[in-house]
Amino acid sequence: MFSILANPKRFLSFARVVAPVFGLVALATICAGIWMGLWNSPEDYQQGHSVRIMYVHVPAAWASMMAYGVMAIFSLIAYVWRHPIADEIAKAAALPGLAFTFLALLTGGLWGKLSWGTYWQWDGRMTSYLLLFFLYVGYLSIWETIENKKKAARIAGLVAMVGSINLPIIKFSVDWWNSLHQTSTISSLDAPGLPAELLWPLLLMFIGYSFFFGWVVINRVRYEIYKARKIRKSKSPAPNITLEKL
């Protein structure tokens, strides 16, 4: 599948069909998730209405880790098979991933203040998740500061692949170290640990964030392909027109 989409022309044909679908699914599921989370789910007996922050915070955290996983996987593909489209997908995944991470940190701080009385604690989960934010910033900074884009792609790809070690640390940090942060609420598909009226808004928001992420990535790669074509055309020599040829 990817070998087919590695061709820019075929990728553009694929994107023209898939991007609108991703956008519509993202819009529908996010709207449904917000409606269910705000008006169709109960308040928590301890946290009250502040528990509704969960419907933004938890899916944002999931999506940020998913985005980094995509970035690392496509960096590996670019490293092994030297597909320029893979580099562009990895690069395109970084900005929405950074946005999801920032959103999770912001909402997590607000939720923590309401639940625990503090915005922040340097425990395993929060510290490793903050590291994820800086990994995104470092990755994007490499692309912006190094003029040679091939060199930038190689260095940024290494950062993405090495930084992926942090993903299992984030996932299992609440099990490895004592923390204010609760342990995993959704442990498996058959034992979600949440009643359906709480679980469904979470899943809808995660699906919405995922399709929104896909929509952003596809459109950013399309933009880079069009930009590269425009630059290539501007550098092509002008036709040599003489009176004899007229």
Question: Does residue 162 register a pLDDT over 80?
Answer: yes
Rounded mean pLDDT, 32-59: 82
Cα 157 from Cα 36, distance rounded (Å)? 39
Higher pLDDT, 171 or 189: 171
Question: Does residue 4 register a pLDDT over 70?
Answer: no
Mean pLDDT check: name the lowest of 153-162, 193-202, 203-212, 222-231.
193-202
Kindly state the tokens that stand for 28.
């529908």
Cα 105 from Cα 92, distance rounded (Å)? 21
What is the pTM (predicted TM-score) of this model? 0.86
Cβ neighbors of 153 (< 8 A, separation 6 or more) are: 78, 87, 91, 143
pLDDT tens, position by position, 100-146: 999 999 999 998 888 778 888 888 888 999 999 999 999 999 999 99
Give the domain ranges of the chain: 9-182+195-224
Provide the greatest CA pair distance for the chain: 88
Look at the block and give the residue holding tokens 């260095």: 155
